[in-house]
Amino acid sequence: MKKRKLGLALSLVLAAGTLLGACGNSENDDKDSSNGKDKKDNFTVSMVTDIGGIDDKSFNQSAWEGLQAFGKDNGLEKGKDGYNYIQSKSDSEYTTNLNTLVKENYNIIYAIGYALAESVDEVATQRPNSQFAIVDSVVKQDNVASIVFKEQQGSFLVGVIAGLQTKSNKVGFIGGVDSELIKKFEVGFKAGVLSVNPDAKITAQYAGSFGDAAKGQQMANNMYSSGIDIIYQAAGGTGNGVFTSAKELKKKDPKKDIWVIGVDRDQKEEGALKVDGKDYNVTLTSMVKRVDVAVQDLAKKTKEGKFPGGETIEYGLEENGIMISESQENVSEESLKAVNEYVEKIKSGEQKTPGTEKELKELGFK
């Protein structure tokens, strides 16, 4: 376990039975926080969320579940002496929250989401003795490990399901913030849909936020009212509003085909509802991105002294970092068969999964 050098020299003077300690300046006070670390035998880990928070039922929550699992496996307790998190309420808090964890001397600090990349770069430069990991972005610093995923692969697979199971031949995509990352979800999804249903019409829109459930609900209401029967959401907390919209419509008309495709984790629970005592679920399937596995894996490596600083680790189908959810009761046998076939094609390289509009067009899709 790496330890920060003690930067505060204590002057011990015994005089008349009194121990006098030298007072440190503010810079030394920051370094002096490592004194507490010497008294700890355990490994500590923490994370800073983006504005979606740990209860976004998606990306941040998956990362937090990974930290909790790591803590359980290693006998750690929640708190400064084990595993912890800071929830960001706005973008302006990212740098401050990262610095807070640095001062608390965690062995590894995770930044959850590409929105924190600039702050990670800044803090990592200022704190070269601290170890950081960022999820969904690449920060080129020797003390930063970058975790990325092949989201387009899983999005392609759920697109295959949507393309085969839509009855209106209209499907939708709702993204959080229009960015290079979320484009991978959108473009991969489009390719999957059109690969099995070239006549399908796909509508893609962005909310401009990962934390606006009301906006997500409004957008979903508009899409469903236009005849769209399946919406794939990659919108963090905003995506919760898509589920709300679908469930309210299902309550009004239980016979109506209304579906949501979840993201990042199995979102079957978010789609559950009761109508007149009968159970329904509007979650068609989910594109599972094993952020929890990646977080656990990197924490384990770091604890063993194998922190991959300066490296980029990518998780896809081949690494079991991307998959469709195990909850498959609403997925047809035809769709599952097609998914399994495409999984093998993707792994072998026979099927390309585009991550940009340019790559989508190069494959012959519009």
Residues 129-179 pLDDT 10s: 999 999 999 999 999 999 999 999 999 999 999 999 999 999 999 999 999
Per-residue pLDDT band for 101 (boundaries 50, 70, 90) equals very high
Mean pLDDT for all residues in the chain: 89
In this structure, the answer to whether residues 11 and 135 fall within a common structural domain is no
In this structure, the answer to whether residues 145 and 159 fall within a common structural domain is no
Angstrom distance (rounded) from CA 179 to CA 114: 10
Residues 322-362 pLDDT 10s: 999 999 999 999 999 999 999 999 999 999 999 999 999 99
Other CB atoms closer than 10 Å to residue 348's CB: what's the count?
A: 8
What pLDDT sits at residue 55? 85
Angstrom distance (rounded) from CA 159 to CA 204: 13
Task: Report in angstroms the alpha-carbon separations of 322 from 150, 266, 278, 291, 314.
Answer: 7, 12, 33, 9, 10
Number of domain units in the chain? 3
Domain of 181, in residue numbers: 151-288+332-362
Residues 289-327 pLDDT 10s: 999 999 999 999 999 999 999 999 999 999 889 999 999
- Residue 326 within any structural domain of the chain: no
Angstrom distance (rounded) from CA 116 to CA 132: 12
Residues 82-100 pLDDT 10s: 999 999 999 999 999 999 9
- Residue 226 within any structural domain of the chain: yes
Is the pTM above the cut of 0.95?
no
In this structure, the answer to whether residues 207 and 223 fall within a common structural domain is yes
Residues 186-206 pLDDT 10s: 999 999 999 999 999 999 999
In this structure, the answer to whether residues 139 and 104 fall within a common structural domain is yes
